[in-house]
Amino acid sequence: MTAPVVTRVAVDAPYGSEHTPDAEPAIGWITESATPGWVQARAELELRRTDGVHALEFAGRDSARIAWPFAPLSPREEVELRVRVTGSDGAASEWSAPRRIVAGFLAEGEWTAATIGLADPGAPARPFTARREFDLDGEVRRATLYASAVGVYQAAINGRDVDDQVMKPGWTPYQLRTVHETTDVTALLRSGANAIAIRAAGAWATENYGFRGNTHVEYTEQPHIAALLVIDYADGREERIATGPEWTAAPGPLTESGLYAGESYDARLEPAESPSVAGFDGSWAAVQVVDAMPVPGARVSPVVRRTQELPVAEVITTPAGRTVLDFAQNLVGRLRIRVSGPAGTVVTLRHAEVLEYGELGTRPLRAAAATDRYTLAGSGIEEWEPEFTFHGFRYAEIDGWPGELDPADITAVVVHSDMERTGWFDTSHELVNRLHENVVWGLRGNFLSVPTDCPQRDERLGWTGDIQVFAPTAAFLFDVRGFLDSWSRDLALEQEPDGMVPWVIPSVLVSKPAAAWGDAATVVPDVIYERYGDADTLARQYGSAKAWADKLISLAGERRLWEGGSQFGDWLDPDAPPAEPAKAKTHPDIVASAYLFRSTFLVAKAARILGRSEDHARYAQIAEEVRRAFLAEYVTPAGRMMSDAQTAYALAIVFEIADPDQRQALGDRLAALTREGGHRIGTGFVGTPIIQDALTVTGHLETATALLTQTENPSWLYPVTMRATTIWERWDSMLPDGTINPGQMTSFNHYALGAIADWLHRTVAGLAPAAPGYRRILVQPHPLDGFDHAAAEHITPYGRAAAGWERTADGIEVRATIPANTDAEVVLPDGSRHEVGSGAHRWLVPTAGA
């Protein structure tokens, strides 16, 4: 009998943080066991608090997302949790390592910080630094900084930044919800004189949003900050230092800063010493106290950090004689330079994703200058990295560099929300592997505080339709639960009183109800539930989901069909003209009515899960009425759609609108259309995530394989053959001749079409949840012709799961690893079914003639 081991104790908190935003956070733990089929029979929990150790024990298998079983945490309370488990075989684990948990929130009324900014900024969106000195007269037991901004900020105490985060606190609907960081700064304080300084810029808060000259500032013309430093002395005293009128502020060497424009920094304006050092001698003015921001809440989402650095891969001299650096990867972040030269020398850094005619291809940026400028102080070797902006780029044009450029002096710094990587995929097909890697890079670049459409042009908005289709893929590759939880809260806050969901969250555009976009209100919480077993988010978002469904029901009326209105439809169908991306082959009414069904169905499902029986009965009935109306209006008895296009068939099949006896005919027609199109993709944002599932479930895996491996335009692999390192917005964002698509809207880093990866994980490798949170796993691989192997791994709430297959001389070998305390349903390529418990498993399926 081998003893199990508790390898991780989990709690709802941002990745890498001890600070939970909740008084009663969900908890869980991962157990590893060498015993096949290991199942937890009992768990013991010990919570160490200042008043002693609180112990409890419960029987059963539950070990993921367990409701907090102790008295609620008090604001700023510090505790330690450890776990011991016993299996059904009677073997018990040792106690886990203690998991430190800190209540990262303040009590109601505790936030006393005033919101401050420059009294006389003199220019829009003026960056500034605010400071204050203070004295400490005793031994400090703990010091915690709670800080926020309408804009972005970084704090420093006694000459050192308080953490390694960037672009904090991120983007929320500032007028409705702000977020504070909770940072332990005990180690930065010292006896006697101390100083704190906060650098700030506008970023999302001061940006101009909108298109074609119709732009506006949504939130504020100037950035503002607020901070509260709580100091606990060893003798029991407490001192609080909050932003207020006694603080001073001044502009600094960061003279201009914007997300779209970039930053300008004049090192000649740097003070001789840091403003965060006591005794700083600067002639600074009193701050202006402005109307308070909403009381900030503790952070739910992961923080933004620098996560990787890339060196220059190639130095290019363009036909015009310009110097361009190629980093061999389309990324999101900024450049860090090391330079020396005469004072006043200006080094200009321009960013773009592609080259066109050998020069920097900046047309897709539209009004975004994406340009940083550094003015040298002339003080020897100088290092600089923009602080409050980011760019989407692979190439950077360097102008004004003093002397000979050494590429080792310029580094690309990758920036995004720092989430735990949880999913991997590999196959024998090199182009498909690169496609999958492009999906990963696209996610990283567009998961920066909010799930954006693109990271480079004058947009970078949280488009609801994009994340609605991509959420399942994201939830496999990274732990995005907290990220999407936080964003979903903002969606509910921004939702109109009549239930209409804006096109983008945070909402900075005038919107109308749009199918597949507003349906993020129902789809994203369902994905969070299915992939993480998170019923808490499902419950919290239920009112939002229901309001959206009710809005659609009112639009559909007695016909139970959503017809007319302004729709995005199957956005960016490859046959749509460059200037008319909504002009798809599938009629927008079919898309709208299909999503009417899906949202009412998902609300009914959520109501059932949450025990709301009356709601479940009502929405299930409406969903059935919509389904029947859809079939009567859009599907012929012979199995043809009124829009004879791939997306229409895929919607009817995958959303399970079609009757079982119709599904095969629809699938056959879908396969025929795909073959007639030369196995080139014919779908846009709506059809692309589901077409492969539609082909697979109707028995057309061979057609799905040909569609996946097509390299001619349009296809998933065409961009790969064109050296793409991220997913493009359009199938042909770059034309075969190397020129940029003539449409005024094109991006080379847009994850929506990368939703294909979810099919690669679930269907090709065969790893999927069979119950919420992977408590039960479905292993159902589909070997593809021309592929030698495929495999996927995913860190579930119960531990690492894996599935895959490989062709051998004897047949197809299928392998699976099932985490402890879970089980799996296995469907092999020959159709045979197996039930297995945890552990490593292997099956050999003979091939024909073997």
294 to 153, 173, 176, 218, 626: CA distances (angstroms):
17, 10, 6, 16, 41
Amino acid at 820: A
Catalytic entry in 32, 133, 256, 459? 459
Cα–Cα distance between 478 and 473 in angstroms, integer?
A: 9
CA-nearest of 352, 387, 346 to 369 is: 352
Cα–Cα distance between 321 and 120 in angstroms, integer?
A: 43
Q: Beta strand 391-399 with 323-339: parallel, antiparallel or unpaired?
A: antiparallel
Phi, psi (rounded to 5 degrees) for 339: -145, 155
373 to 126, 272, 344, 367, 456: CA distances (angstroms):
16, 21, 11, 17, 17
Cα–Cα distance between 111 and 178 in angstroms, integer?
A: 12
Burial label for 542, CB within 10 Å (0-12, 13-18, 19+), is: buried
Q: Vertex 152, ends 300 and 270: CA angle to 5°?
A: 145
CA-nearest of 65, 29, 22 to 46 is: 29
CA-nearest of 589, 543, 549 to 566 is: 589
Q: What is the DSSP string of 294-345?
A: PPPEE--SPPEEEEEEEE--EEEE-TTS-EEEEEEEEEEEEEEEEE---TT-
Tokens representing 836 are 């297995």
Cα–Cα distance between 452 and 456 in angstroms, integer?
A: 10
Q: Which residues, in sequence order, are bridge partners of residue 192?
A: 136
Give the burial string for 211-235 (b: 16+ CB within 10 Å, else e).
eeeeeebbbbebbbbbbbbbbbbee
Give the H/E segment covering residue 591. helix 588-609
520 to 465, 607, 692, 793: CA distances (angstroms):
7, 17, 21, 27
Cα–Cα distance between 845 and 842 in angstroms, integer?
A: 10
% helix / strand / coil in the chain, to the nearest 5? 25, 30, 45
Sign of CA dihedral 61, 63, 67, 70: positive
Cis peptide before 497, with omega less than 30 degrees from 0? no
Please say if 729 is a catalytic residue. yes
Three-state DSSP class for 602?
helix
Q: Distance from CA of residue 702 to its chain's centroid?
A: 33
Cα–Cα distance between 654 and 670 in angstroms, integer?
A: 12
Where are the strands (E) in 151-217, listed by range?
Answer: 152-157, 160-161, 179-184, 192-201, 208-211, 214-217
- C-beta of residue 332 within 8 angstroms of C-beta of residue 416: yes
Q: Beta strand 323-339 with 410-417: parallel, antiparallel or unpaired?
A: antiparallel
- C-beta of residue 685 within 8 angstroms of C-beta of residue 570: yes
- C-beta of residue 777 within 8 angstroms of C-beta of residue 823: yes
Q: Distance from CA of residue 384 to its chain's centroid?
A: 28
Cα–Cα distance between 302 and 142 in angstroms, integer?
A: 24
Cα–Cα distance between 477 and 479 in angstroms, integer?
A: 7
Please say if 32 is a catalytic residue. no
- Which region, left, alpha or beta, applies to residue 639 given φ > 0 means left and ψ of -120 to 50 means alpha? left
Which residues does 617 contact at the CB level (< 8 Å), separation at least 6?
Answer: none
Catalytic entry in 256, 530, 729, 793? 729
Which residues are known catalytic residues? 459, 729
